[in-house]
Each structure stands twice: as C-alpha cells, then as structure tokens.
Structure 1
Amino acid sequence: MGTWVPSQRGRRPVRSRRKGDDVGLFRRRPKRDGQDAPRDPEFPYLSADEGARFRSLVREAFAEQGLEVTVYADVVADSAGRRFGLTNLATLLHHDDRGSRCWPELVRHHVGTVLRTMAEPSALDTLSVEQIRSQLYPRVVGEDGFDPGKFGYARPVAPGLHEILALDLPESVMMLTDDALQPLGDLRYLREQALYNLRGLPIEGHETVRGDGGTRFDVVLGESFYTASRVLTLGSVVRETTGAELTPDGALVAVPFRHQLAFHAIRDATVVPALNAMAAFAAAGYTDAPGAISPCVYWWREGRMTRLSDRDEAGQGLRITVDEEFQAVLERLVGDV
C-alpha cells in the first residue's frame, strides 16, 4: 500500500515579495503570541497557549466528523488504533498570514480531507495503470519519517535525501511503497515517466534574494508538493527562471521544505556569500515549515549532490564543511580561501 499525505491544495498562497522583504522568504511572521510567551514543548514555534488551542481544535474537528480521539503531543489516536500526525498541520497554521483567526477553518479542512481520503477506495484499485503512470511524480524527502523498510527502492540523492515516487491525486499525495509499485511495471521506466511529468509542471513562483557583499540566490516556490523535488531537474529550472545555462561548476542548492527550492549558479566569487546566506536560509526554512526536508546546502553538479552545510552537533548553530574538490573550485574563483 501507499502512504497518504493530505495535500491542502489552495491553502498555501504564493505571495509576491515586497521591495526590501527578502526576510519574508526566510520566515513568515503572522501576529500572534510573542516569543517571550512560554513555548509549546513539541512545536516551539507555537506558544504554550497556542499549542493548547490547536490541539483543542483538532479534537473538536474529529468530533464533528463523529470520531472521538485521544490527543497526544504530536499525534491523535482513535479507538481503532489509527494515528494521525499533527506536525504538518501545526506548521501549516503557523505559516498562515491570517494568524490564529483562520485556524478553525484550516483544522476542519485538514481533518475532513484526511478522513475522506481514508474512507475512499484506494486509487491503486480504481485507476488504470496508464492513469497512475500519468500522475506519478518524484518526491525528494528527508530522513524524518522516512522508513527504508517500506521504500527499499528509494534512490539516494545526497546525504540525508532520498527520491521516492508519489501518486498525485485531487486531494492528497500518495507516496508509493515497494508493495504499491510492484504491479506497475519496471522501476526505471516509472522513474523516467515521473521525471517527465515533473518537467511538465509550471514554475509557480520565482524570487531573487539579494544582500550585502554581492549575495544573490534564487528561490523557486509554489503550492506544488513537488516544488523542492525540481532539484532533480535543476538544469531546466535554472534555464527557465534565469535564461542561463549552468557552468561545469554547477550550483549551490537547498531544499528546506517541499514548497521551496533555492539555488545559486556558481560563476564567480559571489559563491562564498551565497553559501553563507543560503545556509541560514535553509536552516530557517527547515525549522518551522510544513513538509520539512533538509536544513543543509548542497553542491550540485551534473546531478551529483555533496553536502556543504549542516547544523552543529548541539543543533544550535550552523557549520560549513567543504571537501577538496569544492575547495579547488573556491580557490580558482576566489583565490586562497
């Protein structure tokens, strides 16, 4: 069987960036309880009071659907033992520009979508093989929640990143397990079809972040659950958004969460400030965004990805580490670094 993820389409608008609002790409800040308020222990981007209200709304939404649930810190469970995670919904609410006044609507919509999806026959049983293949897309996912026992076919993309296949449906995304893929045919063909479908998606939004010292990098963002996965077709993304081709030196890339892909085409000494800025950008986006993937920056060249930044062992700061190959690129472009 597959793994279901409610898509919440139409609930995450792509906003235009105002002049001087580069910070808005790093983190949205709706007016809510201040950071000095006690924090929720499971979702620290919510205050303790907001966390309590959030869980109360979840319980009420399930009750409206005729289902009594037990609410825990990060999941709810019903009497049949089914468990429903709260992390994506909590971060979705956290990022909504309208603040907490929209929370009841969002929670009801999310819970209704989850229960409706579970009650319907599996798309794997109702769609033809041809329809399934036409709705296949690759998903780049991080380590959190990734179960190698269910996704043995997953392709390693980079340290901490995996590529799996997903079935795109009107109200949900179904991540396909080994058992789900088996009847669909050759895995290589399925992946080629998924990549073809990915290339056919429109780019919904494109922003350029500029800062001091010549810092510049681009961000592709959108509603699609496959926005970050476009790193798998980076060359065409760069061409479509900037009109330029990548050089053999490749690009810096970051996929903090499923709705963002950041990149800096490596051409000159601006690679150094771009790396520093993108490291902060990726860590911030990963921390409190729905569908978190990775807090790291990677060096992409010809489809290969090498990790350059990561959180330190204490999880409180950032560290940047380069190998000899990337060091040689820096020395050629920047000088003795």
Structure 2
Amino acid sequence: MGLFRRRPRRDGRETPRDPAFGYFSADEGARFRTLVREAFAERGLEVTVYADTVTDSAGRRFGLTNLAAVLHHDDRGRRAWPDLVHQHVGMVLRTMDEPSALDTLSTEQIRSQLYPRIVGADAFEAENFGYARSPAPGLYEIIALDLPESVMMLTDDALRPLGDLRYLREQALYNLRGLPVESHETIRGEAGMRFEVVVGDSFYTASRLLALENVVRETTGEELTPDGALVAVPFRHQLAFHVIRDASVVPALNAMASFAATGYVDAPGAISPCVYWWHGGRLTGLSARDEDGEGLRIVVGEEFQAVLERLVGGV
C-alpha cells in the first residue's frame, strides 16, 4: 500500500466519463462491468448489472464501489483488472456461502478477533449500529470481526450475545494495540512542515487513531505533548499525524488538509477528507467541506485558536 498512489496510464480525462464512477472513462466502465458479469458467470451465477451494483436471481445485491476504487488505484493498470475482479468476486461468494463465523467460532475466538473500526458517515447505516460512537463529526467507531478473507462489521444483534459492550470495546482496543505498524513515512516541506503517515494493507490502519499514543511512540520514539496532535484518516489504509510542539503546526495543518482531501477522493474504504485535532483523547474538526461539497476550508475554534496564539503568536 503506497503512500502516494501512482496513477496508471489510462484513458484521458477528455474522453467521455462513466456515469457512476467518474474516474473511469465510459469504455473503462463498460469493461469493468463486463469483467464483473463474467466473473460471476464463471461461478454459475447470472447477474443483472447496474451502474454501481449487481443482483442475482435470489435477490442478493453486491456493491461495486469498493471494487471499482481498487481497480482505479492499482498501479498496474487495466492488465490487472481481470485477476482483481476474479479474486474479489470469489471472496465475496465464499463469504456469503459459508456458515456465519458467529455460528462456528467460540465466543473466546470471536473476542480475540475483534477490532474497532473507524468508518465515515457516507458508509455508515446508523439503524443497525445503535451502539456506535461518534468520536468526531463525520466519523463513527464500530466493532468488527476480523476473518481470513473478510471483515464483518458487527450490528447490535450480533454483539448482544458476546457480552458487555464496554468489555468488548476494551478487548477490541487491546487487539488493535497489538497490531504491527506495517509502514511509516515522514513527509517534509517548506517552513519546517512535517507530518507522519502510517500506511498498511490492514483494514484497521486508520482505526489506529484510537490508540494514537501507541502509534506515535512506536513510529517516532516520542510522546504526545499536552497540546496533542493533528490527525487525518483519508481512507482505511492510511493514518496521518503531526505532534503539536511549535509553530510548525501551521504549515502542517495546511499540508495535511490538502493531503487528506486528495487521499479521500475515490479511495477504497474512504473515511474522511478532513483534519482533526486530537487532544486529551478527544477529536475536534479543523477542516470542513464547503457547502457546495466541492472544496474544504480550515475551521479553527476558540480552543485551538488559543493554542495557535501561544505557539505562533497573533495568528
């Protein structure tokens, strides 16, 4: 999982665009859906293909958004698409056809495979997750069951037999802290701008913001300051942070706002285009979408403004 994903050589933006996935040309979108139909047919399923979903004769619906984003960002280009689609469809069907892990695993096994997962509001169905926490506007924390080929986001009904919710969350956080950091890179720029990025194939990379103290210590060997840190979670495989120590927080905030907005666009598992202030375990939004949804603006409240004035002076 690269930090800056190289765009494969594909049809130019001047060609007609796909109506559902604008990063595809119309021809690429048609090719993508043909590959999906063929992959299902190879497994004995005839499906009806719509713009962003397919359905089979039993009425099961399969979303295409994440798969399309995976293909879009794969730096091998269209030559890799057949294998990626084939693998994805096979995984989805195996997961659906196998008995539920909630019925085959013991309670202790399930608890050992629980992880907290941060998701964005656009991918969240609140009616099934009444227990979910919202650590910041646009973010939700739920509990997921990690399986060899998939991740099961656990609903209220799924969690209820497993025990006390507070205990289950503590167990999930304990499991999260035990995950290794797959890759860490430092981004530097002018005026002392610097921020850190943790990247990985794990579906819980972004969720590590819930254990930020551990991540900072493990990747930099340092501790968080009383002023906290800037954090961003553009998509599920990426966590960016800047420990607030001095006036470099200003260029870091501007750079991270651009970084988060760019990483969020069309990403598999997109979470948020915003930057947040982590302080004392709380998250406060520092950027927000414009009303037209086309851009972002920096939004600084009184509490963070006081930090800036102390560190920079007269901001």
Whether TM-score is above 0.5 comes out as yes
TM-score, structure 2 length as denominator? 0.98
- Answer yes or no: is the 8 Å Cα contact 2:5–2:75 preserved in 1: no
> 1:213: Cα distance to partner?
2.2
1:321 aligns with 2:308: no
Unaligned runs of 5+ in 1: 1-13, 16-24
What fraction of aligned residue pairs are identical, expressed as a percent? 80
- Number of the residue aligned with 1:80: 58
Which SS does the other structure have where 1:329 is aligned?
Answer: helix
Aligned counterpart in structure 2 of residue 190 of structure 1, from 168, 180, 201: 168
Residues 184-193 or 44-53, more deviating: 44-53
> 1:163: Cα distance to partner?
0.6
- Answer yes or no: is the 8 Å Cα contact 2:192–2:251 preserved in 1: yes
1:178 aligns with 2:156: yes
- Number of the residue aligned with 1:216: 194
Alignment of 1:287-298 (within 5 A): 287-298=265-276
Matched letter for residue 102 of structure 2: L
Q: For each residue in 1:143-166, what CA deviation from the matched residue of structure 2 results, as whole angstroms up to 9, or x when unmatched?
A: 112111100000111111111000
Whole-angstrom CA distance in 2 between matches of 1:173 and 1:259: 14
- Answer yes or no: is the 8 Å Cα contact 2:33–2:49 preserved in 1: yes
- Number of the residue aligned with 2:243: 265
Off by >4 Å, runs of 4+ in structure 1: none
Whole-angstrom CA distance in 2 between matches of 1:192 and 1:268: 33
- Number of the residue aligned with 2:290: 312
- Number of the residue aligned with 2:215: 237
> 1:244: Cα distance to partner?
0.7
Aligned counterpart in structure 1 of residue 97 of structure 2, from 119, 124, 142: 119
Residues 33-42 or 273-282, more deviating: 33-42
Whole-angstrom CA distance in 1 between matches of 2:110 and 2:282: 29
Whole-angstrom CA distance in 2 between matches of 1:273 and 1:311: 20
Whole-angstrom CA distance in 1 between matches of 2:53 and 2:80: 21
Which SS does the other structure have where 2:123 is aligned?
Answer: coil
- Answer yes or no: is the 8 Å Cα contact 1:26–1:281 preserved in 2: no
TM-score, structure 1 length as denominator? 0.92
Q: For each residue in 1:234-266, what CA deviation from the matched residue of structure 2 results, as whole angstroms up to 9, or x when unmatched?
A: 011001101110101000000010000000111
1:44 aligns with 2:55: no
Whole-angstrom CA distance in 2 between matches of 1:241 and 1:145: 29
Matched letter for residue 136 of structure 1: L
> 1:315: Cα distance to partner?
1.9
> 1:105: Cα distance to partner?
0.3
> 1:297: Cα distance to partner?
0.4
Alignment of 1:247-262 (within 5 A): 247-262=225-240
Which SS does the other structure have where 1:245 is aligned?
Answer: coil
- Number of the residue aligned with 1:104: 82
Which SS does the other structure have where 2:204 is aligned?
Answer: coil
> 1:26: Cα distance to partner?
4.2
Whole-angstrom CA distance in 1 between matches of 2:251 and 2:141: 29
Whole-angstrom CA distance in 1 between matches of 2:146 and 2:227: 34
Aligned length: 315
> 1:78: Cα distance to partner?
1.1
Which SS does the other structure have where 1:149 is aligned?
Answer: helix
> RMSD between aligned alpha carbons?
0.9
Which SS does the other structure have where 1:45 is aligned?
Answer: coil
Residues 57-66 or 26-35, more deviating: 26-35
Greater RCO (Cα-Cα under 8 Å, separation 6 or more): 1
Which SS does the other structure have where 1:256 is aligned?
Answer: coil
Aligned counterpart in structure 1 of residue 204 of structure 2, from 226, 229, 237: 226
Unaligned runs of 5+ in 2: none
Whole-angstrom CA distance in 1 between matches of 2:6 and 2:129: 33
- Number of the residue aligned with 2:71: 93
Whole-angstrom CA distance in 1 between matches of 2:191 and 2:290: 25
